[in-house]
Amino acid sequence: KALAEQRTTAVQSHLEELQLQWEGLKQDHALQLTDLTQQLGRVQQTAVDLQGELDAERHQVSELRSQQAADRDLAQSALKTVKLRAQENSERDLATLSTLQETVRALCEEV
């Protein structure tokens, strides 16, 4: 009987030790889960922040492309205007030169 009580006490002691270890493991795992959950939250927030930055940069690139297209159109329009004015000036200069030539001929004939 004493041997059975000794064994029962040893088994109970071992069971209590296992229960304490189990509680310790549960607490460790709960802490790890809390830590991992916090890390996941930070990673998710970083992903949201980065997506926001990416969206802002995409918007800026779109605006820059639109401005570039507008600048290109303006430059092409200005070039056409300059070419047209140059042609008009050239034609006017040729007409003036022709008039001067006629005037010089007329003066030469009078002399």
CA-CA-CA-CA dihedral for 78, 81, 85, 87, to nearest 10: 110
* HSE of 91, CA atoms in CB hemisphere, 13 A: 6
Regions of the chain where pLDDT drops below 50: none
Q: Can you give the pTM of this predicted structure? A: 0.56
Q: What is the pLDDT of residues 49-78, one digit of tens each?
A: 999 999 999 999 999 999 999 999 999 999
